[in-house]
A = this chain, B = another copy of it.
Amino acid sequence: MRWLMVSKNTLIGNDNKKRTSDKQFISIRNKPLNSALRVFLKLNMNKCVIMPVLNQKLPNVRGYKIMKTRRSDRLVDMTRYLLERPRTLVSLTHFSEEYESAKSSISEDLTILKRTFQERGIGLLETIPGAAGGARFTPYMTQDDAKEFVASLVNAIDDETRVLPGGYVYLSDILGQPWFLQRIGRLIATQYLREPIDAVMTAATKGVPVAQAVAAQLNVPFVIVRNDTKVTEGPTMSVNYVTGQSQRLEKLELSRRSLPMGSRVLIVDDFMKAGGTIRGMASLVKEFEGQVVGAAVVAEGRVAHRVIDDYTSLIHVDTNKDDGIIHVAAGNYADEIYANFEESLENKVK
């Protein structure tokens, strides 16, 4: 008795080197499943177990039986599958067919995943019962992890050589590191655990990595608003807005086809001073008949007057243009993200 792995209608061999070096086995590798199976069954006197790697119809040949995927293998693959698809309802039927396993076994697997995800602060695994039921994974970051992460951000940015002309701060290295971006995305997404969001919006160019990171955690598209018209993207919708500090008139444009009308939009950016750009993006969302779900920035600078009230910031940066001194501290994230986090976790699905 031996195992075969079946992939895309082809026998691809197993991972045991002794077995794959077997001549009989080699002779049927990469043949179409149907004929390979017949040869194999002949050679092995009708004793054979097939372990399907991918869900597919098996050929109508006598003498083999299907092996269920083991629980340990299911747990590993289900974890991978759900982590890759945040906020997506995956049906029990899908897993059941993928692993040739009973729905009751899949339900037990999901209980294990749910427990581990919760204990380790990875995210929420909701299991929806019934015929149309399944599981949905929503990643979050616990407040303890957030505290540690924001401290590491503060530590990385608290460096006076980062002060740039105009009171801006050099963040490009931080916002070019996948590790930081993944954490930033997860932390910002945590605030909207139960909120339906259709798209993430940002302003070119430095906000793009933040938008992409948040969108990956929410599993929704991100759209990039531009203030030059050089880039050709077809017909655009545009708004004029007044910058927060210098009171200049600027223009923001978004390709018409990139955002469906009536979308629920989360606005993000890397750095906010008075908030003029965010206010501009909010008015652009209105032009698309959409709704602003929230606004979040990695860093807020210190300004005398802000033109928006409702925003989330991970860190607060205070720069002094004259002597280049920088002071970095945690932003308002603890109040904005975690004030209702526990309640939100326990809520039913909206």
Contacts and interface: CB of A to CB of B under 8 A. Distances in A.
Given A76-B79, A178-B215, A257 B173 contact: yes
A170 B233 contact: yes
A193 interface: no
B73 A76 contact: no
A165 interface: yes
A144 interface: yes
A73 B178 contact: no
Interface residues of A, number: 63
A130 interface: no
Given A164-B232, A172-B233, A257-B170, A112 B205 contact: no
A115 B205 CA distance: 42
A192 interface: no
Number of copies of this chain in the oligomer? 2
A96 interface: no
Interface in A162-196: 164-166, 168, 170, 172-173, 176-179, 181-182
Interface stretch (A118-126, A303-311, A313-321, A331-339): A118-126
Contact of A178 (B179, B219, B224): B219
A179 B221 CA distance: 9
Contacts of A84: 182
A205 B233 contact: no
Interface in A42-85: 51, 53, 71-73, 75-77, 79-80, 83-84
A212 interface: yes
Q: Which residue, A76, A112, A206, has most C-beta atoms of chain B within 10 A?
A: A76
B120 A224 contact: no
B176 A224 contact: yes
Given A209-B208, A258-B173, A76 B166 contact: no
A240 interface: no
Contact of A208 (B144, B166, B208, B255): B208
Contact of A212 (B53, B172, B181, B257): B181
A329 to B, nearest CB: 21
Contacts of A232: 164-166, 168
Contacts of A209: 208, 212
Nearest to A206: B231
Contacts of A168: 232
Given A15-B115, A119-B15, A205-B204, A178 B212 contact: yes
Given A118-B15, A233-B170, A178 B216 contact: yes
12 contacts: A8-B144, A53-B120, A71-B72, A76-B112, A165-B232, A170-B257, A172-B255, A176-B222, A177-B221, A178-B212, A181-B212, A205-B226
